Amino acid sequence: MSKLLCGIACLFLSAAAYADEQVIDKPLVAQSLAGFDQEATEIRAGMHEGGRYEFLKADDKSKVEARLNSMHALLEKHANQNDLNSSDKIALVNAQEEVNAILKHNDSNRLVCESRAPIGSHLPVKTCRTYGEIEAQRQDAMRTHTDLDKSRVNKGGG
Question: Which pLDDT score is estimated for 15?
Answer: 41
**Band of pLDDT at residue 27, cut at 50, 70 and 90:** confident
Q: How far apart are CA 109 and CA 5, in angstroms?
A: 28
Q: With cut-offs at 50, 70 and 90, classify the pLDDT of residue 81.
A: low
pLDDT at position 157 is 53
Helix (H, G, I), strand (E, B) or coil at 116: strand
- Residue type at position 4: L
H or E element, residue 65: helix 58-77
What is residue 22's predicted lDDT score, i.e. its pLDDT? 84
- Quote the pLDDT of residue 93: 92
Sign of the CA dihedral with 74 first, then 75, 76, and 82 last? positive
pLDDT of residue 80: 56
Across the chain, what does the average pLDDT equal?
83
Q: What is the pTM of this model?
A: 0.72
Query: What pLDDT sits at residue 60?
Result: 96
Nearest to residue 135, comparing CAs of 64, 51, 68? 51
Q: pLDDT at position 149, please? A: 79
* Residue 57 pLDDT exceeds 60: yes
